Structure 1
Amino acid sequence: MTLRHGQAVALMVAVTFLWATAGVVTRQLEQAQAFEITFWRSAFTALSLALILPLWQGRGVWRRMVTSGRALWWSGVCWAVMFTAFMIALALTSVANVLITLAAGPLLTALISRLFFGQRLARQTCAAIVVAGLGIAWMFARQLGEGGWLGSVVALGAPLGGAFNWNLVQRSQREGHGVDLVPAVWQGGALVLGALLTHLWLTQRKETPA
């Protein structure tokens, strides 16, 4: 799918708006716990894409997924981390803290590209990373005294997962192996769903008397 510049910008603005309001909408679910929200979100993602992918990319999508290489599967793991960290963090701290932590995503992406993928960074980028790091440290220090630091630490999983995902995809594309992110999103949802179902089964097994 090819987009014109204006369409791409409009799509980015729409995605940013939806991502920014996701936390506010989620916090309105007063009767649901983090486990339930994460479970149903992952279940809907996995099941809906399981129906959409064959219609969109043909039945061979599952075969291509198996033979697409490690980058696609690692991308799925990154999506699973992002799904889980975002939802659990919302249950542990305020929406504002989660969104502030997510805003560090671009800088974390640049830092990880330097540390793990050997990319060079401009001095301005390094300075911005230092300033953002100090801001996050200050936010965590304040929450440490209030006992609410755990939510922000968990929230860091989302931008870290996104940062590794972006760098993995970029490296794979430079090597001539494109990564289709839609199957990767399905894999992320399926991984989280499988992990939660396993956790639920093990919990019920422990609670069931012998």
Structure 2
Amino acid sequence: MATAQVLTTTHAMHTPAVDPLYPSAIDATARGAHYAPTINLPFHHPSLAAALAPPAPATTLASLPTELHLLIFSSLDPIDSTCFGLTSRHFYTAYRTLHRSRVPLNQRRRGPNTLEMAWEVLGPVTPCRYCGIYRCELHMHIREFMPGRYEYCAVRGVFGLRAREGAKDGCFRSNPPKPMMCGRHWVPNVEEPVVEASKL
């Protein structure tokens, strides 16, 4: 009887109080493990090649495919399309692909384009700062691209040298037989007096 009690007591001392979920826990409990196992992950140092690699190029408007450029140009009116085409040589090539003939400088605005109509959901569209009581014309938008010594001539429809001092404010036809002669920007050809060599 005493032997049976000793065996029962010894068996109770080595039996865990809670049944383990996996077999290896029996050994850990029997050994009296007090700490959970720790996993040491290796530390990866950044390689030199990754540090010296150039950064990924950012996506810009110029880096978009040509098909998207042509789609943007097709949604613009002649005025906005011309201004957009003058921003870079790449865009000018796409602009000339769609507009085979030159857009006249007196081209007027046809109203909000499809892209502007899409922005109306955010609020009223700000009117063009070049618009007055008349509609916009192309030369009003591209005059900032021109040097300061040039201005637009409404008679000839081109940009030329500024009018001389004392000229009238507006352009007008000064000679009816010559409709392209502007009275404001026309400068007569004055020949310089010939200086003889003996007087030098």
Q: TM-score range by the shorter chain?
A: under 0.3
Q: TM-score, normalised by structure 2?
A: 0.22
Q: TM-score, normalised by structure 1?
A: 0.21
Structure having the higher Rg: 2
Larger helix fraction of residues: 1
Does 1 or 2 have the higher relative contact order (CA < 8 Å, sep 6+)? 1
